[in-house]
């Protein structure tokens, strides 16, 4: 952690740093498939909620990710996609008023999705009811997670994009989720 961040970051400070305008309309010129995720930060010592996908899934098997999924025509916008998917996967109802901002879009290299990450900050986490798309839920201290950043050394993950990894216990976070965490890292620790 750099010397400007010796103290624990509280929720109010985090909210100020991560707040941004929200542009939830799907871009009309996108050639990518669209998806949205919800980055949920909660608690006094900011924790971030991530999920582990079952190893049996066709796409992203065993990966650590944020709740979310594919935009559907029935969704009014991409924020509605993130809210719907979070409810389906975790049983958590996030209202639009709980969403404080969004990060820059992240594109997946293998499946060709453009993912819009939204951020919600909650005082405490409600009860979680996972569906079949989730193997387990990870509640991770945000600041210590951000401090584990490294360059991704796996040649299978390399591309023209800057790639990073983060670690939590035995879990390796890489790819699109790591690129989202890198944006948060840069906002908080740079």
Q: What is the residue extent of each domain of the chain?
A: 3-141
Its pTM surpasses 0.75:
yes
Average pLDDT over residues 19-24: 93
- Confidence at 17, pLDDT banded by 50, 70, 90: very high
Please say if the pLDDT value at position 60 is more than 80.
no
At 146 the three-state DSSP class reads helix
Distance CA 120, CA 38 (A): 7
- Residue 41's closest CA among 60, 71, 19? 19
pLDDT at position 124 is 92
Q: Angle CA(73)–CA(75)–CA(76) in degrees, nearest 5?
A: 110
pLDDT at position 162 is 64
Specify which residues 38 forms β-bridges with: 118
Please say if the pLDDT value at position 148 is more than 80.
yes
Which two tokens mark 132? 């079949």
The share of the chain scoring above pLDDT 90, in percent, equals 66
Average pLDDT over residues 67-82: 94
Distance CA 161, CA 173 (A): 16
pLDDT at position 3 is 39
pLDDT in tens, 153-184: 766 655 556 688 999 999 999 989 999 999 99
Per the CB < 8 A criterion, the answer to whether 37 and 66 are in contact is yes
Per the CB < 8 A criterion, the answer to whether 145 and 65 are in contact is no
Hey, how many other C-beta atoms are within 10 angstroms of the C-beta on 142? 21
- For 3-141, the fitting CATH number among 3.90.79.10, 3.40.640.10, 3.40.50.300, 3.30.1490.20 is 3.90.79.10
């Amino acid at each position: 952690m750099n010397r400007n961040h010796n103290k624990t970051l509280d929720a109010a400070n985090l909210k100020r740093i991560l707040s941004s305008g929200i542009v939830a309309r799907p871009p009309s010129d996108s050639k990518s498939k669209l998806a949205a995720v919800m980055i949920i930060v909660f608690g006094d010592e900011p924790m971030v909620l991530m999920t582990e996908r079952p190893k049996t899934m066709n796409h992203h098997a065993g990966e650590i990710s944020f709740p979310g999924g594919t935009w559907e025509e029935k969704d009014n916008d991409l924020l509605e996609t993130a809210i719907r998917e979070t409810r389906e996967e975790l049983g958590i109802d996030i209202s639009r008023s709980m969403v404080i901002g969004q990060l820059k879009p992240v594109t997946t290299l293998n499946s060709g999705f453009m993912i819009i990450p939204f951020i919600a900050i909650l005082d405490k986490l409600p009860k979680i009811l996972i569906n079949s798309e989730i193997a387990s839920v990870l509640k991770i201290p945000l600041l210590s997670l951000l401090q584990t950043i490294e360059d991704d050394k796996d040649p299978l993950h390399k591309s023209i994009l800057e790639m990073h990894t983060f670690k939590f216990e035995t879990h390796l976070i890489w790819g699109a989720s790591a690129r989202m965490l890198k944006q948060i890292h840069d906002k908080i620790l740079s």
